[in-house]
Structure 1
């Protein structure tokens, strides 16, 4: 083998992260003469296969390791309120998340925000990367609008931001208020002014009133630029378009039924099962949205732009106009509808033996809620599901039980976290917060949808068709190291030498399901997982423990599923409305866009829910609640209230007169001297001290005393705490983290969110 080879180069870069240029690598490896040509080719090959990322004209870094000095782009503010970025290479951002840690040395400059770029020194500590800015040379568009509440002042007014992440406040001259009154919710744009003076703005739109019960959703929609109104050409198409005439199989005689939430606004999937000689036949039928939304049309452009529907407690912002999403493409009961269906055959042990895709016409024979289906199968009489018990529901449950055997062998990640639902009255007021019930009916539909999604990925991959996979990477080494560090504080061992596998996580969850730390362990396991994304490249789905997975079952509300439908139509010769060559060539860009729109919707939905919870609790200031600590930061404690699931914050300065030190590995705040501690998962009694419905914020006062020092634990150092910016633990690196770093340095070119 010629020298230098890729293993040697990667080992050198791992051992010498500051050596990023070809000259430095060549000098370090003592490469001379013709060996330089070999080195050039090795670096090129490593860049082409994604192992290295070019960070300059003649500089590289491993894709999972930021360079010690380089360009960083700030991408988000995390749940702790900290600014997070990633390194920037020739092809965009790459590598692990990097926390902003201020300016380097005596350097000073404007505060960065999401979208800004700058030159930074990057260092790693305890498995986490931090950036010290040297220069902020590209800031986000200063024309970004501000959404918030207008407050009247003697000279005009001001706009207070609705987002906790936006630190701006605009002063508004009287002539620029555009008729806004005190308490109006508005959007405003910056007004050019003195560079060092106060920020002035101009009101551009009045979107509602703060005292409107539906303001929570309005603020989230405008704050995240979620498009609500459909353009006229899109509406005209939706009102006049007819499905493309394609060969179809008649499925109307099969008693397919829909099973959905009781308040579902659309129905995009129907199911049927029957017992056959050697097992079960299951049919999953999905609305044929591709027949209506065809490439290149106004409908298609708008659907792709939106990416997905966004669901709020009081409304839905749909991906498709009402005429399609709730009518023509919805599997309304007792009406014929074009569909894409998959017929799957399973043996008695739940192992799939075959499947085939069908472009057909179906008729939903019944519309049941989860509650109605479950009540019928549980033997309750008189409900809507009773009529369908023998012909449909019992076979569905029989097939589901058989699939349960195969599912148990597959061992998907068994995180079943409770989910809260905000109850909204017709006039938009919050009437209660309830925990969603989980029935076998939910799990049955989920399992059949998963099987249909797997079948779609298998078929398209077998036929060599481009497609969008739903990818969920395995947890990163740094997250596993953090998990191991934390579990050690609970005297739970988590060996880092083994490959991450779902059954290991499930065993951990099961072993402690009845213990006092059950909720905490579930939360930490959840945080250790990667976020699921869309990608034209298949990396498998770790959480479901599947090697091939694509979204096929919800084309009314997800554009990704529409792409999969089109790919099936093209590959199987089912019509002229399949995936175009132009779209197939753009799948990487489409995937990135769909990940962005999905996360935008998730953030907006979470913000709206937080505001509704704050509104619900606004008249309960001074009341006491029981909560659980769900986050420990240098600034204080995040606490989730048990009764509502609302998240609040208790600042470190309000905990007590102790000097608190943040122990990152133990996820705890520890009092210097006494060693008393507030730690992740601890149940505490709190008082609701303040509510800010505009931002959806709750300020809490902890009433419970801290836990005593752990036996044998040394008092924390005086660094960090209450009197300045609370510091992170500066102790020695744990054995778990050392192992992880040593393992990472030995790797030979190895490449490293919701299903």
Structure 2
């Protein structure tokens, strides 16, 4: 900021200077910057005292700062990474319980230039002393930091496999990538035996030889499936133990009362969830609209657990929930965002129990057009807890004792309303990529029993459409009130991805229009491929062309759902984004305590970035766990043959999906045969130069399992199916079309046989 040294600055100029110059904002610095002397210095002192009395500035020793602003040198705890791999931290000493601690982008890479200084190398979990600068990038964290000194290395436990050594003690074979092998003395082994998965902490790192560690906890045999999800938890740095203060806060919570709530306990709301669900955060109800102006219309009510009543901004519960971002679901366990006292008890809409909720009542026409909606803070009492299959069976004509009494008064009105909403959905034309979701079922011992594709019932679609409409209503209400919020946004495919898809579709005589694409453009492609040999292949490529959905305070719309505005509102038990939207609604609509704070509003960009990162972290951990579980399950089936499908084509080889297991493995290009194979990106194919035979995305193939590595979650296959004749374009050998490699038959393997 350029300073004019002519007169005492006004309040606004003074505040702006303190904000923009946190490292030179003492009274002396300010007087020097503005050229103040004599009586002007006395007047400056008086002005600064007034600003402090009004809470507009605060003093840290001699340094002046704005409230909620970080001092120029701050202790930072590095907690996560952004989407580009950069380190993100938060101030270690943040005393204001009512404010969200700002995110800080931590720079540790070596700078360039004569005067550049290299900061110490730091990583996730470390505490550093850092120089703080206000960020110029308004889309990222509010601050950037240059590391001055590494204060404390991460001390929480890491995982490894204990390998016993003759004479006692053992070595730790690391689980985490790029970690080093460690030595454990016998008196620090804590009873671990060979093959145990253990939590360890480095106790001494000598200058020579392997570092030494001590075992903190024996998780169990690494050969057991129960250990596999714990590997992912540690590998991805997912917080899984609630601090004592958080647990105490949850245990001290008392059930909500009727104060400030409408009494909706007589409304026959019901929950419909998977049969093994432990928490129930949404309940639904529908009835015909009695208004003569809306004949054939419906009133649909969605009630969502009022988590904001128990989790206030800035509380220990809130800070831990933001740190986790979302619940993480593994086949054998759930790492919840909130303690069970909140998620499975006070905020679970249990049958026959009074529970606080935030509800939206929506009116639809008979053709699914939403006419109006309103939000209410209520007390409900769920009439029944049903499973998807139970509700569907009743509608299909085979009710049980529980659903028979609900059929006419509760279930049929819901299905009638769904038929109307479905008509509206069909007109909207969201992206119709209905890919099957596989579920791993474990037996009583925690071992993989089988992998199933649960049926996709109308009951699932009914609840899904109710939740989508409630989410839209939340975004609309907050926009109408000009209230800041976190949207769930899904951008259109990038131009590069569009062009890649366009080139691929051209090889199948399919076309993708240019210009401003909408979801129905992709639906037309999917419809044209139905029943064709390349149907699966086209679905895979359309899926890959899509952008990733993220959270943002800036609305870009939701391309996949074909919606102009969309905000997650319906799962505050397991998603922090929904909790923010609840608070925003409570504040904007004046529904009582627990509304969004000014500090939260100012931090929405940081919060959205954090929870988007947490979501990606959870998805990666869940995917890695499934890969490891399946590899573990198939480890004793090496040598067996399987029917698979080519799910990926790269310069290095082919990825093979096993539909019956929901797993992927790899066939290296060097094992495909003696031909010289070319990678054709446009055709998504590997083609032999001599024979013209090859393999293409979506092809059904037979493979033999050669290797299964449970800890890495990796499967390696041998191709048994002979390649098929490739289209002429797929045999173009221009270098621009991709790299090529000569297949080399491995010793002990036979030549490919014909496809079955």
CA displacement 1:703-752 (0-9 Å, x = unmatched) = 00112242466452588444699xxxxxxxxxxxxxxxxxxxxxxxxxxx
The Cα shift of 1:581 comes to 0.7
The Cα shift of 1:375 comes to 0.2
Match of 1:217 in 2: 229
Distance 2:593 2:81 in 1: 40
Distance 1:695 1:383 in 2: 48
Structure 1 pair 261–571 and aligned structure 2 pair: CA distance change class (3 A): same
Q: Which deviates the most, 705-714 or 664-673?
A: 705-714
8 Å CA contact 1:333–1:363 kept in 2: the answer is yes
Q: Out of 292, 299, 304, which is 2:317 matched to? A: 299
Match of 1:374 in 2: 392
The Cα shift of 1:85 comes to 6.9
Q: Out of 170, 176, 179, which is 2:181 matched to? A: 170
Task: Give the TM-score of the pair, scaled to structure 2.
Answer: 0.74
Distance 1:536 1:704 in 2: 50
8 Å CA contact 1:553–1:561 kept in 2: the answer is yes
Structure 1 pair 220–712 and aligned structure 2 pair: CA distance change class (3 A): closer
Match of 2:465 in 1: 447
Match of 1:202 in 2: 213
Structure 1 pair 86–337 and aligned structure 2 pair: CA distance change class (3 A): closer
8 Å CA contact 1:191–1:199 kept in 2: the answer is no
Match of 2:407 in 1: 389
Q: Which deviates the most, 711-720 or 670-679?
A: 711-720
Q: Out of 562, 581, 584, which is 1:545 matched to? A: 562
Structure 1 pair 401–217 and aligned structure 2 pair: CA distance change class (3 A): same
Match of 1:675 in 2: 692
Match of 1:461 in 2: 479
Q: Out of 168, 184, 204, which is 2:196 matched to? A: 184
The Cα shift of 1:694 comes to 1.6
Match of 1:270 in 2: 283
The Cα shift of 1:618 comes to 2.2
The DSSP-based 3-state class of the residue aligned with 1:225 is coil
Q: Out of 327, 338, 343, which is 1:325 matched to? A: 343
Q: Out of 247, 251, 264, which is 1:235 matched to? A: 247
Determine which structure has more spread, i.e. the larger CA radius of gyration. 2
The DSSP-based 3-state class of the residue aligned with 2:379 is strand
Distance 1:456 1:178 in 2: 54
The Cα shift of 1:517 comes to 1.2
Match of 2:160 in 1: 148
Match of 2:646 in 1: 629
8 Å CA contact 1:268–1:287 kept in 2: the answer is yes
8 Å CA contact 1:184–1:210 kept in 2: the answer is yes
The Cα shift of 1:426 comes to 2.5
Distance 1:523 1:567 in 2: 38
Unaligned runs of 5+ in 1: 1-73, 78-83, 94-111, 116-137, 726-755
Match of 2:670 in 1: 653
Distance 1:714 1:506 in 2: 30
The DSSP-based 3-state class of the residue aligned with 2:402 is coil
Matches within 5 A, 1:523-562: 523-562=540-579
The Cα shift of 1:189 comes to 5.8
Match of 1:603 in 2: 620
The Cα shift of 1:201 comes to 5.5
Which structure carries more relative contact order (alpha carbon 8 Å, separation 6+)? 1
Q: Which deviates the most, 497-506 or 350-359?
A: 497-506
8 Å CA contact 1:670–1:677 kept in 2: the answer is yes
Match of 2:143 in 1: none
Distance 2:556 2:252 in 1: 41
2:483 is aligned with 1:472: no
8 Å CA contact 1:332–1:364 kept in 2: the answer is yes
Matches within 5 A, 1:19-418: 147-153=159-165, 157-162=170-175, 166-172=177-183, 174=185, 178-179=189-190, 180-188=192-200, 200=211, 202-203=213-214, 205=216, 206-242=218-254, 246-276=259-289, 277=291, 278=294, 279-418=297-436
Distance 1:372 1:717 in 2: 58
Distance 1:713 1:506 in 2: 26
The DSSP-based 3-state class of the residue aligned with 1:355 is strand
8 Å CA contact 2:204–2:213 kept in 1: the answer is no
CA displacement 1:337-389 (0-9 Å, x = unmatched) = 11100000011111000000000000100000000000000011335322211
The DSSP-based 3-state class of the residue aligned with 2:492 is coil
The Cα shift of 1:240 comes to 1.7
8 Å CA contact 2:669–2:742 kept in 1: the answer is no
8 Å CA contact 1:143–1:190 kept in 2: the answer is no
Distance 2:655 2:585 in 1: 46
The DSSP-based 3-state class of the residue aligned with 2:400 is coil
The DSSP-based 3-state class of the residue aligned with 1:330 is coil
Q: Which deviates the most, 318-327 or 353-362?
A: 318-327
Structure 1 pair 226–650 and aligned structure 2 pair: CA distance change class (3 A): same
The Cα shift of 1:298 comes to 1.4
Distance 1:659 1:171 in 2: 44
The Cα shift of 1:188 comes to 4.9
CA displacement 1:144-174 (0-9 Å, x = unmatched) = 97533233355964444436xx244414254
Match of 1:729 in 2: none
Distance 1:491 1:204 in 2: 61
8 Å CA contact 1:671–1:716 kept in 2: the answer is no
Task: Give the TM-score of the pair, scaled to structure 1.
Answer: 0.74
The Cα shift of 1:670 comes to 2.2
- When the two structures are aligned, how many residues end up with a matched partner? 599
Distance 2:104 2:545 in 1: 25
CA displacement 1:535-561 (0-9 Å, x = unmatched) = 111110010000110000001111111
Q: Out of 604, 624, 627, which is 1:587 matched to? A: 604
The Cα shift of 1:396 comes to 0.6
The DSSP-based 3-state class of the residue aligned with 2:679 is strand
Distance 1:201 1:143 in 2: 16
Distance 2:452 2:537 in 1: 21
Q: Which deviates the most, 599-608 or 703-712?
A: 703-712
8 Å CA contact 1:190–1:199 kept in 2: the answer is no
8 Å CA contact 2:184–2:214 kept in 1: the answer is no
Match of 1:491 in 2: 509
